[in-house]
Amino acid sequence: MTAFVPRAAALLPELVALRRALHRDPEVGLDLPRTQRRVLDALDGLGLEITTGAASTSVTAVLHGARPGPTVLLRADMDALPLTEETGLEYASTSGAMHACGHDLHTAGLVGAARLLAGARDRLAGDVVLMFQPGEEGDDGAATMIAEGVLEASGSAPVAAYAAHVVPGPAGRFGTRRGTLMAGVADLRIELHGVGGHGSRPHDAIDPVVAIAELVTALQVMITRRFSVFDPVVITVTQLAASDAINVIPETASLGATVRTLSRAADERVRGEVARLATAVAAAHGCRAVVEFSADYPVLVNDDAEADWAHDVLAETFGVARSTIAPDPLMASEDFSRVLEAVPGAFVLLAASPADADPAAWNHSPRVRFDDAVVGDLAAALATLAARRLDRAAG
Ligand SMILES: [Zn+2]
C-alpha cells in the first residue's frame, strides 16, 4: 500500500490548489456552504455514495470496496476560526475568518484519500466512510454528524476510525500515542451578583468587581492545591466583564474561562471544586455566584492497539524517523473524541511548519502558517490506514 505515496505525490498540485482555495475563503461554525460545495465538486465522479447533513453542512461519503467486508471511518474537520489573518500569505483570507487550525489541510487531505481509495477500489474488501465535518471549533459538529447517522452510513458500524491534525513542528513528522492524546474541554462562566452604586461610595454598594478579581487568582491557586500534577487541569480565564461606565459600580461582574482536563474523573471533580470556590469567594464579599459549565468535549482517548498499529503502519509507509510516539498529551481539545468514544481508533498529529515558521505562532494564532507540501502525505497516510485496516480485518 506504500503505492499510495507516489500516487498522492502526483495528486499534490490539485490538493494544494484545493487547500489554498479553502484557505482563501474560510467559513466558521456548522454552516459552511461554500466549503461543502468545494468538497462535493472534488468528490464528484469518484463513485461514492454521498449524503449531506441536515443540521450542518456536513458531507458523508461512503466508498464501497469491490468485495464485502467491515467498515473503516476517516474524518476531516472543515471549519475555520473568527480571526483576522496576519500571515501575509498570497492566498491569505481577508474576510475576518481564518483557517488558523489547519482544517483546510485536513479537508484537502481527506479529498486526496478519497481519490486514492477510489482508485484502489478493486483491492478493497469492505467500506470506507469519509466524514467531512463542520463545527469542530466549539460547535460539536461531530456529535451533530453522529446524531444524523455517520457511524451507520455504510450499513455496518465502523471497526476502526482515524483522523489527523496538523500542528507546528518539522514538516512531515507524524505522532500519536496510546490512551489520552488530547484534553477534555468545558466552557466556564461565573457571574457574581452584588449591589451596584456610585463609584465614589463603595461602602453603600456590594462591589462584585473586587470579588471577581479575587476569584480569578483563587481559581489558579485552587488548581494547584486540589488537583494532582499527574492528572493535570488547566483553567484559563479569558473573559472579564463588569461596568460599562467608569464611575458606576455594577450589579454584576462575570468571567469566562476555558477548562481542560485529561481524565473524566478530573472533569467531574473540577466542576464541584469551582462551584464551591466561587460560592465561597462571592460570599466572603457579600455577593452571590452563578456558575455554569457548557460546551464540553470529552477527553480524546486513542485505543492502545489502534495507536500502536497506526504508528507501525506510518513508520513502514514513511520511514521510522517520520513516525513518532507523542511524549505527552496536548491540552488542546478535539471533538473526534466523540467518534473515539464509540469506535476504537487513533488520532494522529502531523507536524507541518514551513522551515521559516515562527515557533511562537501555534494553532489559533493569526500568524500561524502550515506547509501544504504535507497534504499529499496526509492523503496517503489516511488512505493507507483505511486500506491496511480492511486488509487486516480480512486476515
Ligand atoms: Zn483544529
Let me know whether 317 and 170 are in one domain: yes
> Which residues have CB less than 5 Å away from ligand 1 (the ion)?
101
Tell me the pLDDT tens digit for each residue of 323-343: 999 999 999 999 999 999 999
Let me know whether 308 and 276 are in one domain: no
CA of 340 to the centre of ligand 1 (A): 16
pTM for the full predicted model: 0.91
Instruction: Give Cα 193 distance to the centre of its chain.
Output: 35
Let me know whether 60 and 127 are in one domain: yes
Tell me the pLDDT tens digit for each residue of 146-178: 999 999 999 999 999 999 999 999 999 999 999
- How many domains, in total, are found in the chain? 2
Let me know whether 262 and 348 are in one domain: no
CA of 99 to the centre of ligand 1 (A): 9
Domain final position from 297, 320, 346: 297
Let me know whether 41 and 134 are in one domain: yes
CA of 81 to the centre of ligand 1 (A): 9
Nearest to 109 by CA among 353, 379, 377, 387: 379
Let me know whether 209 and 257 are in one domain: yes
Q: Quick one: CA torsion of 351, 357, 359, 362, rounded to 10 degrees?
A: -60
Let me know whether 281 and 331 are in one domain: no
Instruction: List for the chain the helix, strand, coil content (%; round to 5).
Output: 40, 30, 35
pLDDT at 1 over 60: no
Percent of all residues in the chain with a pLDDT value above 70, rounded to a whole number:
99
Tell me the pLDDT tens digit for each residue of 212-270: 999 999 999 999 999 999 999 999 999 999 999 999 999 999 999 999 999 989 999 99
CA of 246 to the centre of ligand 1 (A): 38
CA of 86 to the centre of ligand 1 (A): 18
pLDDT, residue 394, reads 83
Q: Which domain holds residue 230?
A: 184-297
Percent of all residues in the chain with a pLDDT value above 90, rounded to a whole number:
96
Let me know whether 250 and 200 are in one domain: yes
How many C-beta neighbours within 10 Å does residue 155 have? Answer: 9
Q: Please name the residue that has the C-alpha cell 471511518.
A: 73
pLDDT, residue 129, reads 98
CA of 155 to the centre of ligand 1 (A): 29
Residue 269 belongs to a domain with what CATH number?
3.30.70.360
CA of 69 to the centre of ligand 1 (A): 31
The amino acid that residue 123 corresponds to is R
Residue 10 belongs to a domain with what CATH number?
3.40.630.10
pLDDT, residue 38, reads 98
Q: Please name the residue that has the C-alpha cell 491557586.
A: 221
Let me know whether 383 and 319 are in one domain: yes
Q: Give the pLDDT band of residue 296 (cuts 50, 70, 90).
A: confident
CA of 258 to the centre of ligand 1 (A): 16
Instruction: Take residue 240 and report the three cell numbers written for it.
Output: 472579564
Query: Is 184 within 8 Å of 297 (Cβ atoms)?
Result: yes
Domain final position from 265, 297, 329: 297
Domain final position from 266, 297, 328: 297
Let me know whether 82 and 214 are in one domain: no
pLDDT, residue 2, reads 61
Let me know whether 151 and 23 are in one domain: yes
Let me know whether 255 and 370 are in one domain: no
**Mean pLDDT for the stretch of residues 186-210:** 98
